[in-house]
Amino acid sequence: MPYPAPAAPNNVYFCDPALMAAQAQGRSPLPIVGAYPPMWEVRPPGAQDLYGTGRATLLGVAGDVQTIVPAPAFTILPAYEGVISELRMAVTLPTFGTLIQFSLLINDAPVLGWTNLTPPDVAAALVAITREGPLQLQPGDNLTVRVVNVNGTGPFNVQADLTGWQYAQNLRRAIYGDAANS
């Protein structure tokens, strides 16, 4: 006795050549699985853009720590999920030997792979680095950036910019079903 075919998640249909041909001609209302990349890779339709920037001054003291709180606050809404697509960090007027570390914090906890990010050791008017995502976020996650003056040179003005998006959980569920894409 053959086993029944597995059921597709909500609103996701298996691709077969006839369905794909009908979809390509605009004759089928059914979505194709391949048409929906993961929501942490590509901003889905209906998602809200997120952008937050913050600044602080690091004192010329070894171990000086400042927490940059982006404005507007970078907090994922209840019943939403989010993505960080990019963290940009900058230091103004660093000198040779400057050692500054940036770390992304979610709910005051460091994020693996997003800690101790260090701009290059150069003397310039502005030195900036970028850490690209994606990094998935859960409802209520609050993001800040910790900056540490490791060796005490300075003072320096530092800046962190966060970009990404958030989307309603029911949007993900409508496209992928409850268990998929999580």
Per-residue pLDDT, 15: 41
Half-sphere exposure of residue 27, counting CA atoms within 13 Å on the CB side?
6
pTM for the structure as a whole: 0.75
3-state secondary structure of 119: coil
| CB-count burial class (<10 Å; 0-12, 13-18, 19+) for 132 | exposed
The model's pLDDT over 81-90, given as tens digits with 9 standing for 90+, comes to 999 999 999 9
Write down how long the chain is: 182
List all residues 6 or more positions away from 91 whose beta carbon is below 8 Å from its beta carbon.
Answer: 98, 100, 119, 126, 127, 128, 156, 157, 158
| Closest residue by Cα to residue 54 from 67, 66, 74, 68 | 68
Q: Could you give the CA distance from residue 56 to residue 100 in angstroms, rounded to a whole number?
A: 13
- pLDDT for 72 equals 81
User: Which pLDDT does position 74 carry in this prediction?
Assistant: 85
* Sign of the alpha-carbon torsion through 130, 135, 137, 141: negative
CATH topology of domain 48-170: Jelly Rolls (2.60.120)
pLDDT in tens, 125-162: 899 999 998 999 999 999 999 999 999 888 999 999 99
pLDDT, mean of residues 68-88: 91
Residue 92 CA to residue 157 CA, distance in Å, equals: 5
Asked if residue 84 lies in contact with residue 162, where contact means CB atoms within 8 angstroms, the answer is yes
What the block records as the tokens of 74 is 């970078």
Q: In this predicted structure, what is the pLDDT of residue 36? A: 60
What pLDDT does residue 107 have? 95
12-57: per-residue pLDDT in tens? Answer: 333 445 545 655 666 555 454 455 677 778 888 888 999 999 999 9
pLDDT at 25: 65
SS3 90: strand
First to last CA, the chain: 34
Contact yes or no for 163/84 (Cβ under 8 A):
yes
Where along the chain do the CATH 2.60.120 domains lie?
A: 48-170
User: How far is 160 from 158, CA to CA, in rounded Å?
Assistant: 7
Sole residue written with tokens 């507007």:
72
